[in-house]
Chains A and B, each alone.
Chain A
Amino acid sequence: MIPAPPEGASVLFNPPPGWAAPAGFDPRRGHLVDPAWPSAPEGWAFWLPDASAGREHAALPSTTLRPTQAEARSVRLRNRLIVVGAVVVVVGIGLAAWAGLASSSNQPGAGSCWGGSSEWLHEVPCSSAEADYVAVGRTASPDECPYTSDTYLDLGDAILCLEPN
């Protein structure tokens, strides 16, 4: 008899020795034990913590600012020194910068390719080795991007949804 897993915990089924359980065997999904399998050793831990459970971050953040390479290097240096201050003030400045950039955006479309550093992206030919991302859609809001596109560029008047190329 297999005991129920701990309530609310992320666990994986741990078959006892001698159980030829197929990959993906999980009694919680109604999978049946072969009556020929031997009894589990006394006190066997049928459920082990799922090591993959936890938090994962998106591969790349998006940003409305695309500075020159020199500026980007400078920003990266300063990023390491700056402690995030008053959130409201920062958001206000950011919004102003966004609004300013919106009027000068060049509005690339779906199918365009993007590459660059881990912090700033620029448009590159799709045949280029630098083309790490491909735009898969242009939407009004990040929430309308397909799920697989958790990276995007804000063009000011539209969102360009990106996926790994």
Chain B
Amino acid sequence: MIIIWGWRAIRKVLGSGRFFCPQCGGDTDYKHLALRRWFTIFFIPIIPLKDLGTCVECSRCRTAFTERVLDVTTLEVFAHHQGLANRAVVAHLVSLSPPVDDTTVGEGLLALASAPGVRDGYDGEALSADVSFFADPGAVAAYLRPIAAEMTIEGREEFLRRMIVLVARLPHAGPSAGLAIEHVAAALAVSPAHLAGIRQHVQSGAPAAGGDL
């Protein structure tokens, strides 16, 4: 009798989803796996051997990562959060510059026209609904939080530059709007000195450096 025996790693899929694969450099599907080696006879797992732990495996390049790779958001979700953060701050600044009329809404839409992540077709009606929702500073802070840790320094600068320009253009913006910009800067971990520099840059009329990724 010839006996066929050996080991095989048996993978149990704990879950699946979409993640940013650092190896592929883009969004792709993943499987969350638990692995264990088994002693097999005639290819039948008989004895569980070493527990190989858990990992996250990229479905495209098959690279295995620790679960910490899931802490980084996908490019699509980051763009979604970027659009929400821009809408939140613009709507909040408009709410601080009453009355909310065609002029202020128009200025808000102009600011959002160059903002990443804002869907095509976002109009005055959508901004008016956002003004009601994001009049609450707590809601603004909640919608800034996801991007604060992942935005580059240049991205934060461009984001603040856009809001400073908007406040300068809103006809009835008072000191509260300027104060709100300071809170936004703090939420993005931009120091008061750094914010003063960005303000000076805007007032000098210098062109923006680039996008706010």
Closest CB of chain B to A163's CB: distance in Å? 9
Among A91-112, those with CB < 8 Å from B are 91, 93-94, 97
- Interface contact A22-B16, CB-CB below 8 Å: no
Give chain A interface residues in 37-86, CB to chain B under 8 Å. 50, 52-58, 60-65, 67, 71, 74-75, 78-79, 82, 84
List the A side residues contacting B27 at CB < 8 Å: 23-24
Contact B81 A55 (CB under 8 A): no
Q: A55 to chain B: which residues have CB within 8 Å?
A: 10-13
A7 beta carbon closer than 8 Å to chain B: no
Q: How many chain A residues touch the partner (CB < 8 A)?
A: 53
Q: Given contacts A23-B27, A84-B41, A94-B41, are A64 and B17 in contact (CB under 8 A)?
A: no
Docked-complex contact A24 and B74, CB < 8 angstroms: yes
Quick one: given A67-B2, A84-B44, A90-B5, are A53 and B14 in contact (CB under 8 Å)?
yes
B126 at the interface (CB under 8 A from A): yes
A31 touches B80 (CB 8 A): yes
Shortest beta-carbon distance, B82 to chain A, in Å?
11
In whole angstroms, how far apart are the Cα atoms of A122 and B79 in the complex?
50
Q: Closest CB-CB distance, A153 to chain B, in whole Å?
A: 9
Contacts A31-B77, A36-B129, A94-B3 hold; do A50 and B15 have CB atoms under 8 A apart? yes
Q: Is the CB of B3 within 8 A of A32?
A: no
Q: Are B4 and A57 in contact, with the CB atoms below 8 A?
A: no
Q: Which of B7, B43, B46, B55 contacts A87 (CB 8 A)?
A: B46
Given A25-B77, A35-B129: A56 and B12 interface contact (C-beta under 8 Å)? yes
Task: Check B12 against A32 for contact (C-beta < 8 Å).
Answer: no
The reply to whether the CB of B159 lies closer than 8 angstroms to some CB of chain A is: no
| A127 contacts B by Cβ under 8 Å | no
User: Is residue B8 within 8 Å, beta carbon to beta carbon, of the partner chain?
Assistant: yes
> For the complex, what is the distance from the CA of A18 to the CA of B33, rounded to whole Å?
32
Asked whether, in the complex, the Cβ of B19 is within 8 Å of the Cβ of A52, the reply is no
Check if A132 is an interface residue, CB within 8 A of chain B.
no
CB contact between A143 and one of B8, B50, B76, B139 (< 8 Å): that residue: B50
In the complex, the chain B residue whose C-beta lies closest to that of A163 is B62
Chain A residues with CB under 8 Å of B4's CB are 61, 63, 65, 75, 79, 119
**Known contacts A57-B8, A87-B41, A90-B5; A10/B17 CB under 8 A:** no
Among B5, B76, B79, contact of A63 (Cβ-Cβ < 8 Å):
B5
Query: B156 on the interface (CB 8 Å rule)?
Result: no
B195 within 8 A of A: no
Evaluate contact between B64 and A32: CB separation under 8 angstroms. Answer: no
Which chain A residues border B43 with CB–CB below 8 Å? Answer: 61, 119
The 10 closest A-B pairs by CB, nearest first: A24-B18, A22-B76, A150-B9, A62-B6, A52-B16, A24-B74, A58-B8, A94-B5, A56-B11, A35-B133
* A–B pairs, 9, beta carbons within 8 Å: A10-B15, A31-B77, A36-B126, A54-B12, A56-B13, A57-B10, A61-B4, A94-B3, A147-B55
A-side residues, CB < 8 A to B, are 10, 12, 20-26, 29-32, 34-36, 50, 52-58, 60-65, 67, 71, 74-75, 78-79, 82, 84, 87, 90-91, 93-94, 97, 119, 142-143, 147-148, 150-152, 154
Q: A35-B134, A63-B6, A90-B3 are in contact. List 7 more A-B contacts (CB 8 A).
A: A55-B11, A78-B2, A84-B46, A142-B7, A142-B37, A143-B52, A150-B8
